[in-house]
Amino acid sequence: MTESNAAIVEQYAAHLSSRASSALVSFGLVGVAGGAALGAVPGHLSHSLIAGGVNYFAVLLGAVSGGIAGRSLGEKRAAGLRFQAQLALRQLQVEERLFQLVAQPAAVATPASVPPFTNSTPPEPMFVPAPAPPVLQPTAPPLVAPAPVSLAPPPPPPPLPPPAPVSVTASAAQVAVRPLEQAPALPPLSS
């Protein structure tokens, strides 16, 4: 990475750090103003919820609580901005180390050790083939084929005997008629 790009990244990290410190102050001031405004609302109502002499105390209490809430939010925002600044600097360090590692093997190879390419001889391969992977022996026992299945249709079921004749002769006296049970009475809907 060139020095100008590294300087830009460092300036960006410094800018993020300054934004983080100003976030604390700005969120705190906005919180104080908002809390004071909310504390003053009950005193301006026509039917005031608080006594007349306590209006100033309500504004002061609202400003303090708003300032605390604003500072808490500002600290969260500042932590995020500081994290971004550190991340940018760390990425710069990683890139510089990567460029150093890439540049070192190039310095080891000298031009005299590489044979010149000529059209009269075919070029030789410049790579070494990887060793063959080891052959693994199966450890599980071999699978046994299931017994052959017959594809013949199943035999038909035996025939059912014919139904016996049913005689339905009953007189009215034999059939007992039960009267319907009475449903329970419901209470009246209105009294």
CA dihedral 124, 125, 127, 128 (to 10 degrees): -80
Query: What is the residue type of 116?
Result: P
| Number of structural domains the chain divides into | 1
Q: Is residue 154 part of a domain?
A: no
Q: Is residue 13 part of a domain?
A: yes
Task: Determine the structural domain holding residue 92 and report its residue range.
Answer: 3-110
Q: What percent of the chain has pLDDT over 90?
A: 28
The 3-state DSSP class for residue 175 equals coil
8 vs 148, higher pLDDT? 8
42 vs 36, higher pLDDT? 36
| Integer Cα distance of 39 and 58 in angstroms | 5
pLDDT classification of 111: cutoffs 50, 70, 90: low
Q: Is the pTM of this model over 0.85?
A: no
pLDDT score recorded for residue 173? 52
Q: Is residue 43 part of a domain?
A: yes
Q: Is residue 185 part of a domain?
A: no
Q: Is residue 59 part of a domain?
A: yes
Q: Is residue 27 part of a domain?
A: yes
Q: Is residue 181 part of a domain?
A: no
pLDDT score recorded for residue 121? 57
| Integer Cα distance of 38 and 62 in angstroms | 6
Q: What percent of the chain has pLDDT over 70?
A: 71
Q: Is residue 9 part of a domain?
A: yes
Apex 32 CA angle, 31 and 37, nearest 5:
95
Over range 94-123, report the average pLDDT.
67
pLDDT score recorded for residue 6? 85
